[in-house]
Amino acid sequence: MVSKRSYILPLTVLSVFLLGCSPESDLEISVDGVFAHMDSGAEPGCACSVNQNGELVYSNGFGMANLEYDVPIGHSTIFHVASVSKQFTAMAIELLVNDGLVSWDDDVRKYVPEVPDFGTPVTLRHLVHHVSGIRDQWNLLYMAGWRWEADVVTQKDVLDITSRQTSLNFEPGERFLYSNTGYTLLAVVVERQTGQSLREFCRERLFEPLGMSNTHFHDDHEMIVPNRAWGYAPDQEGYLGYRASIPDFDVVGATSLFTTVDDMSRWDKNFYTMEVGGEDAYNRLHDKITLANGDTLDYMHGLGESEYRGVKMQGHGGADAGYRSYFLRFPDHNLTVTVLCNFSSSNPGQLAQEVAEIYLEEYMEAPSEGEVAEIESTPAGNLDNLAGFYVHPLSKAAYEIKLENDTLVFQADQPYKLIQTGENEFVLDGTTTTLELIAGDGSESTARFLPDDEPHYRKDSWTPEPKELAEFEGRFYSSELDTKYHFELMDSSLMFHHRKKESDTMQPLYQNAFRLDGATVHFGEDLTTFTLSDERIWNVKFEKIPGIAVNE
């Protein structure tokens, strides 16, 4: 049954009888316990629902939906669910396939000619599985100067910057690389084939038939939404240690679904009844794709598939501004858990797994100990050959491995000690992420994340003198981003300037390469061009603007 924490007074035996309900079960009490630490009344929190066999058996809210007005989170509180939206965009296309209006094997340019002709077809199927090679919209816009929670982003902005790209990250179907652009383009396909916005189409064809009355695609950031949870991020100087963190974009498809845990329960029920879409659409939603190398991806149509403690699970997470979400199904056991949160440091995926354990413990393998036993350290002579920058062979993006007090450290946003667990395998301390390091002579050393990352090749760290740095001064323009970058030598450091971004120091990486705002800037040999790459956009081109003095 559904938990009734919204009642002010406890239910008596008589009121339980009159309402036709039963007292809270041990299962419900256990689920409450997973979230109890959020229920102080002075912090944001989460809502959770549990479905068994497509029927709602638990629904509850914890923490505050709005800190300014002391509004608590309930089971009908509306959240922005970010990338959990993708499965709904995929289902919208499934319905168009049912209608005979599109095919998953159609070239996207048939419907969205703004997508450049890259010399090879990019199909709707490539887009839905993230194998298109099209660069990610958010990374492109960010490096072009868009400021999150300060500049409104529209579908038009995404189409414009996509239309400017002169190349793909890789050939379609060659590999998996998550790209939000693909799902925005799928939303545009829906709009152009139906004459309706994605919001209107999904309301009519998806949400109303399923009784999802508190769900919509949010395509107007100024729209008032009653009962909405406000998003928050940690800020020690803010009220109660938080600041508001709200997406301000009008982009749908990849994101921007607004919904509740109760409505997600109704969506889950459709996996059993197939009321919307029928069996054909249901089956396509679970289709997988085989890459050019013969590997079959576990990412389906807006749903990923993996295992947790030996039990198959399917689902998707989401993260935008202060919102975090997770929709998690265990199809072999007919159990689904949805967790929606309104603070950026939450971990709804872990919370959903903890809830699932309460219901499925008897079917799950024993949990791992969490700690990995250290083995004899790699010989010290090899450690020197492992420290350095490891460079992606195609994008030239790099990450760093340091040697500190005879200990290898992976340097990301924060340092992670590398704990050796095998001859060439290391786990990032505090995570389950495994890195394979193979020592060689200099550039022959390689690193790759297991199981399927490709080898990155080691390059020595680079410490240029100011005279060398001066050679990189100048103004550079990218037609792919329609923006200018300005590099200037100041106080023995190369400084980055941009009309909308904060000035920053360029951190030297390997020869002719710098770290800039999480991306890698790699200069060509003549220093008049460079490429900009991060994990989702590879080799965006910049060219030096001739005839402009550095101080102009």
Beta-ladder partners of 311: 308
Task: Please tell me the chain's helix, strand, coil percentages from 3-state DSSP, rounded to the nearest 5.
Answer: 25, 30, 45
For residue 200, the SS3 value is helix
Average pLDDT over residues 530-541: 96
Name the phi and psi angles at 267, rounded to 5: -65, -45
User: What letter does residue 78 receive in the DSSP assignment?
Assistant: B
Beta-ladder partners of 478: 483
Supply the DSSP string of 235-270, one letter for each residue: EEEEETTEEE----EE--SSS-EEE-HHHHHHHHHH
Rounded to two decimals, what is the model's pTM? 0.90
Give per-residue pLDDT as tens, 247-289.
999 999 999 999 999 999 999 999 999 999 999 999 999 999 9
pLDDT at residue 509, rounded to an integer: 95
Tell me how crowded residue 121 is: count the other CB atoms within 10 A of its CB. Answer: 15
Beta-ladder partners of 485: 476
pLDDT above 90 coverage of the chain, percent: 79
pLDDT at residue 216, rounded to an integer: 98
Give per-residue pLDDT as tens, 361-395.
999 999 765 444 444 444 445 677 888 899 999 99
pLDDT at residue 19, rounded to an integer: 34
Q: Is the pLDDT of residue 108 over 50?
A: yes
Domain ranges of the chain: 81-363, 383-459, 466-544
Evaluate whether 81-363 and 466-544 have a shared fold: no
**Residues 6+ positions from 440 with CB-CB distance below 8 Å:** 385, 446, 458
Question: Does domain 81-363 sit in CATH 3.40.710.10?
Answer: yes
Give per-residue pLDDT as tens, 391-401.
999 998 998 99
Average pLDDT, the chain: 91
Give per-residue pLDDT as tens, 283-321.
999 999 999 999 999 999 999 999 999 999 999 999 999
How many whole angstroms separate alpha carbon 142 and alpha carbon 413? 18
Beta-ladder partners of 257: 217
How many whole angstroms separate alpha carbon 258 and alpha carbon 152? 18
Range of 44-58, 359-373, 422-436 with top mean pLDDT: 44-58
CATH number, span 466-544: 2.40.128.50
pLDDT at residue 22, rounded to an integer: 46
Name the phi and psi angles at 399, rounded to 5: -125, 160
Distances from the Cα of 238 to the Cα of 8, 45, 341, angstroms = 31, 17, 19
